[in-house]
Amino acid sequence: MEIISTPAAMQRRSDEIRRAGKTLALVPTMGFLHEGHLSLMREGRRRADFVATSIFVNPTQFGPNEDFGRYPRSFDRDCDLMRTVPVDIVFAPEASAMYEPGAETWVEATEITTGLCGAHRPGHFRGVTTVVAKLFNVAKPHLALFGEKDFQQLRAIQRMVRDLNFDLEIVPMPIVRESDGLAMSSRNAYLSADERRRALALSRALAAAHEAFGAGERDPRALVRTACGVLRAGGGIELEYVEAVDSETLARIETVERPVVLAIAVRIGKTRLIDNAVFAPRPVLN
């Protein structure tokens, strides 16, 4: 497994792969890997000749009072996990290599990032789309894989790729959950045993809303109320938002006629957790 630390070296390696007529899949991560990340890498392994993973805790997507300094990091552990896939290339730059002194250029998807997490984390998605654009220019992948747990991030990146004519395919991948239903996240490491137990209310809330949807409920406000009821009953959970929006545009809707994403963000203790589920109405047969 090659470990590359500078953008120039990564670009040279990508050029070599492309000149050889081979394909490259990229899995961007901030490290502290779990099975969700590995599922993306294994799919990249299946789809491409080479798999590259970036390990970079991107400072520009953290707000001033967020957890950049304490975000979990364990590079050696991550490398051991990536060897099981196996991953071919690890791109692990320093922040100074990705953002040179005097850097002042940003990439931003505006409308699709105004609600949900974007309304509560000013500047977050600008940092995300900027660093992902840079990673695409550095690694030059043929395809890049992103998990659906960060649903708004996925949609913002898809919009950026479309609007700026990036020549690559974005591959969405389903949420990977623990056996008890908790969505896998690097931030789960912050949770105490009691907080982790309370965090199970997120998947229960989504399941309750899905049951209501399956029974015919098509009012997004009613789906939100159902989910909120489960979350509040769990206790010790601070709701940041619970919203049901169009799954493509992330715009608010009056009734569910197309696929809708029910998205949740909460705080349990000092930990911010997100989760979501997409509900799709059955097509009407003529």
Per the domain annotation, does 179 fall within a domain?
no
pLDDT in tens, the chain (286 residues): 999 999 999 999 999 999 999 999 999 999 999 999 999 999 999 999 999 999 999 999 999 889 999 999 999 999 999 999 999 999 999 999 999 999 999 999 999 999 999 999 999 999 999 999 999 999 999 999 999 999 999 999 999 999 999 999 999 999 999 999 999 999 999 999 999 999 999 999 999 999 999 999 999 999 999 999 999 998 899 999 999 999 999 999 999 999 999 999 999 999 999 999 999 987 655 5
Question: Residue with structure tokens 């056996």?
Answer: 179
Q: Amino acid identity, residue 95? A: A
In angstroms, the CA 50 to CA 119 distance is: 37
Could you tell me whether strands 260-268 and 271-279 are parallel, antiparallel, or unpaired per DSSP bridges?
antiparallel
Secondary structure string (H, E, C) spanning 96-159: HHHCCCCCCCCCCCCHHHCCCHHHHCCCHHHHHHHHHHHHHHHHCCCEEEEECCCHHHHHHHHH
Same domain? For 160 and 266 the reply is no
- The answer to whether 37 is a known catalytic residue is yes
Q: In what order do the strands lie in the sheet with 50-55?
A: 2-4, 89-91, 50-55, 24-29, 143-147, 169-173
Same domain? For 67 and 192 the reply is no
Q: Which domain holds residue 254?
A: 186-279
Q: Which of 34, 37, 142, 210 is catalytic?
A: 37
Per the domain annotation, does 181 fall within a domain?
no
In angstroms, the CA 37 to CA 115 distance is: 26
Per the domain annotation, does 180 fall within a domain?
no
In angstroms, the CA 78 to CA 52 distance is: 13
Q: How many domains does the chain have?
A: 2
Same domain? For 169 and 238 the reply is no
